[in-house]
Amino acid sequence: MTLLEFSRGPMLHFALFVFVFAVLWRLISTFMLGWRKRKSEWRTTSGSSAVKGAIAVGNRSWPHPEFLERTAFGEAVGYGYHIGLFAIILLGAPHVIFWKNLFGISATWWPTIPSGIIHVISVVTIFLLLIATIRRYMHPPLRRISNFDDWFTLVILFGLMISGVMAVFGLGGRYEIILAVHIISFNVLLIWFPFSKLMHAFYILPARFFIGYTHAKKGAST
């Protein structure tokens, strides 16, 4: 068995199993924490509170104007590399083929971004990740709150992105080896994901909705 066969065979299957099982375990365990006992009467209906919760998702996903002057650069970099990663993973033609083969999807409606544009997005995303990493290290408050979780995640992402670009442009040696490194980086990311801060991808929107919903039920605003 070659390294490439191992990376997209047994290792990929193991990584997917860990990812799915651990994510479900964390989501179910969080849900089972339950609700705090109410100490006051609800002030609004559930429907109205749900609307306020949805509004809170939008409000909390955009920086407040009062802080925009100080946070605009960090916000732009953060949103930039997140959007870049999602575009590459979900709309890059090689990745769309990978997802279709993995899940047995034969649909033709799945759109793809032209390869030239994906290449540009990939390079820009790596650059933005580098800026975010330097900023995290150079900014004292960010550096103080950063731990192994943050730095290890960045190492995985850099390995994933750089090996992907190298495979596309034929850099760094045999294509099969570089592609294997790329897939192994992806597998490591899948295994690491449920046990890291990356779980915010599943928590962030429901948490914002829940905060807006409960505040509205109590007659407060967010």
Give dist(CA 129, CA 150) in Å, integer. 12
pLDDT band at 179 (very low <50, low <70, confident <90, very high): very high
Tens of pLDDT, residues 8-43: 889 999 999 999 999 999 999 888 876 666 666 677
Question: pLDDT averaged over the chain?
Answer: 87
3-class secondary-structure state, position 9: coil
Rounded to an integer, the average pLDDT of 116-124 is 93
User: What is the model's pLDDT at position 58?
Assistant: 75
Q: Which two tokens stand for residue 117?
A: 């544009």
What predicted TM-score, i.e. pTM, was given to this entire model?
0.86
pLDDT band at 150 (very low <50, low <70, confident <90, very high): very high
Give dist(CA 59, CA 57) in Å, integer. 6
Torsion angle, CA of 161/164/168/170, rounded to 10 degrees? 100
Give dist(CA 49, CA 52) in Å, integer. 5
Contacts of 39 (CB under 8 A, 6+ apart): none
Q: What are phi and psi of 113, to 5 degrees?
A: -90, 140
So where are the chain's domains? 3-16+71-204
Higher pLDDT among residues 103 and 3, named by residue: 3
User: What is the model's pLDDT at position 55?
Assistant: 78
pLDDT band at 1 (very low <50, low <70, confident <90, very high): confident
Q: Which two tokens stand for residue 116?
A: 């030239």
Give dist(CA 48, CA 34) in Å, integer. 22
Contacts of 140 (CB under 8 A, 6+ apart): none
Spatial CA neighbour of 203 closest among 23, 20, 18, 53:
23
Give dist(CA 74, CA 128) in Å, integer. 10
Strand-pair partners of 92: 113
Task: List the beta strands (DSSP E) in 106-219.
Answer: none
How many C-beta neighbours within 10 Å does residue 129 have?
20
Give dist(CA 20, CA 13) in Å, integer. 11
pLDDT band at 222 (very low <50, low <70, confident <90, very high): low
